Structure 1
Amino acid sequence: MTRLSFLGAVARVFVWAFLLALAVVVLYPLLWMTLNGFKTNAELFGDPFALPLDWSFDNYAKAWNRGVSGYLSTSVLVTVTSTVVTVLVSAWAAYGLTRADLPFGRGLTGIILGGLMLAPTVALVPLVKMFQAMGLYNTFWALLILYTAFRVPFTTFLIRAYMIDLPREVDEAASMDGAGRWTCFWRITLPMCKPILVSTVLLHILFTWNEYLFAMVFTSGTGVQTLPVGLTSLMSKHGTEYPVVFAGMVIAALPVVLLFLFGQRYIVKGLADGVGK
């Protein structure tokens, strides 16, 4: 064995060891949380790292019946609606920035992308006052507007970076055949952007599903609270059933984990074909 092949073998061993350690660090908390959802309080505090004695789904049923089902429905509604609105608005904005000859186009691009520098926490107080004055506080519309407004700059940035490299000759040929802007966008450009659109959809879902700050500040009623905020209601001052809390956390995490497992290759492909160019 030559020296170079020996060094290559050692490097592969270190890489696989690192990846294995990383997988344990990521997967073990999820496994531990899932297993503790099958225990009782006594089992959990007696030995939190032991296997459950009784593999019963009672804690998961309790979490579901104590409000997790309603919080899950709200999260799905907010996530799906804000994702559709954000991606469509961002795609249309990116199309205008890359295909239309807009006056002060570079300045307009800078203004839109400047939204990436605005920290949500800085705008909390004025946003609360504005939403209260408009009657939107503690409503579904508040979360929809906030999640859309604060994600449009980032999503526009990703889609614009992908559209820049698309051939403009296709749009020009369609225009010569009588297609308007909207037809070119909807039937030609948008289908060619499928990889980056899938990536932005998945990234927005991951953000919205786990977002806590806006959901906590702008909602206070049980009918409009999302999962991250609603799970805190399972905690009681007079004694918390922590296995029920863990069960609720597993229910909340399961859709996102499955979505990421099935969609990670689309995220990588979309970002590599777009921003990575």
Structure 2
Amino acid sequence: MKTLLGPRGRIIASAFLGLVLIVMLFPFYTIGRGSMEFAGHLSWRNWQVLFQNLPVVQQLINSTIVTVGSVACILIISSLAAFALTKLRIPRGGALLGLIGASMMIPMQSMILTEFINFAAIGASDNYLAVIATYAALGIPFGTFLMTSFMRDLPDELVEAAQIDGMPYWRIFANVILPLSAPALLAVGVLQFIQIWDDLLVALIFLQEPAVRTITVGLAVLQSGRVLDIPVLLAGSLLSALPAMLAYLLFQRALIGGLTLGIGK
């Protein structure tokens, strides 16, 4: 920016970015202030009511189990698939990658009920494994596509040199390819973490028992009660959004870098 804009241009650009920042942060300010208002003054009453009517800690733990488990499955399977497509030269790999990309066009809503019926038929509803498997199935195509675009540009000579040294394919994958693919892995992991943590539809359908509900489902059930307490819901919404916000703030540079590398490759 310093080389393209003069002093006046930098001032205008900074003012514009400051205005954009204010516009983006204003909803969070509104939610935070609303969660603290009671009877015309600031109070912790809304937060106390939230924790009294909702098992917040348990539901945050449930959300963590579901999200971390789903992201782990997505990263493992998508990186293995990308390795096979780019370095093992499997037959008709291009057509297979095209099918994987096409599967991302299928609306999630058209698959959820079928998945629920299948898991319910084998007695696997209302548990973590069913919802983790569903989230993983929805996220693997995107992860595979991005990981493939990244790994494709990694030098094939690395794999050939490792083979000459007598390394089996699983060691080549674990010791050579994965460390070099860390930016893409982090980008996929952060994006999927944010999406799965904030999702309501899948968890609402699969996790109906109170003991396994995630925080988003808990807030939805609380909202469906006879008495709707908006400030309490604002407190819960802010608490639910914090992990995804922190994940983005902590890894935003790595996230943007990984996506940029994936696009460039």
What is the TM-score with the length of structure 2 in the denominator?
Answer: 0.91
Q: Say whether the 8 Å CA contact 1:37–1:244 is kept in structure 2.
A: yes
Q: Say whether the 8 Å CA contact 1:60–1:244 is kept in structure 2.
A: yes
Is the aligned partner of 1:64 residue 2:51?
A: yes
User: 2:161 aligns to what?
Assistant: 173
Is the aligned partner of 1:220 residue 2:208?
A: yes
User: 1:27 aligns to what?
Assistant: 25
Q: Indicate which of 83, 107, 121 corresponds to 2:95.
A: 107
Larger radius of gyration: 1
User: 1:127 aligns to what?
Assistant: 115
CA-to-partner distance for each residue in 1:198-255, whole Å, 9 max, x for gaps? 1111011001101111111222111222121111233364433322221111111111
CA-to-partner distance for each residue in 1:154-176, whole Å, 9 max, x for gaps? 01111111101111111111111
Q: Say whether the 8 Å CA contact 1:64–1:248 is kept in structure 2.
A: no
User: 1:36 aligns to what?
Assistant: 34
Question: Letter of the aligned partner of 1:100 in structure 2?
Answer: L
What is the TM-score with the length of structure 1 in the denominator?
Answer: 0.87
Gaps of 5+ in 2: none
Cα distance between partner residues in 2 of 1:18 and 1:146? 42
Secondary structure, in 3 states, of the residue corresponding to 1:37?
A: helix
Cα distance between partner residues in 2 of 1:205 and 1:180? 32
Q: Say whether the 8 Å CA contact 2:199–2:216 is kept in structure 1.
A: yes
1:11 CA displacement: 4.7
Q: Say whether the 8 Å CA contact 1:68–1:231 is kept in structure 2.
A: no
Over 3 Å counting, the alpha-carbon distance change for 1:237 and 1:229 in structure 2 is closer
User: 1:271 aligns to what?
Assistant: 259
Question: Letter of the aligned partner of 1:122 in structure 2?
Answer: S
Secondary structure, in 3 states, of the residue corresponding to 1:275?
A: helix
Secondary structure, in 3 states, of the residue corresponding to 1:154?
A: helix
RMSD in angstroms over aligned alpha carbons? 1.9
Instruction: Tell me the matched-pair count.
Output: 261
Cα distance between partner residues in 2 of 1:93 and 1:13? 48
CA-to-partner distance for each residue in 1:93-112, whole Å, 9 max, x for gaps? 00000001211121121222
Cα distance between partner residues in 2 of 1:122 and 1:173? 46
Is the aligned partner of 1:260 residue 2:252?
A: no
Map residues 1-277 of structure 1 onto 2, 5 A cutoff.
Answer: 11-40=9-38, 42-43=39-40, 53-54=41-42, 56-65=43-52, 66-235=54-223, 237-277=225-265
Q: Compare 83-92 and 62-71 and name the one that shifted more.
A: 62-71
Cα distance between partner residues in 2 of 1:236 and 1:152? 33
1:13 CA displacement: 4.6
Q: Say whether the 8 Å CA contact 2:187–2:254 is kept in structure 1.
A: yes
Secondary structure, in 3 states, of the residue corresponding to 1:117?
A: coil
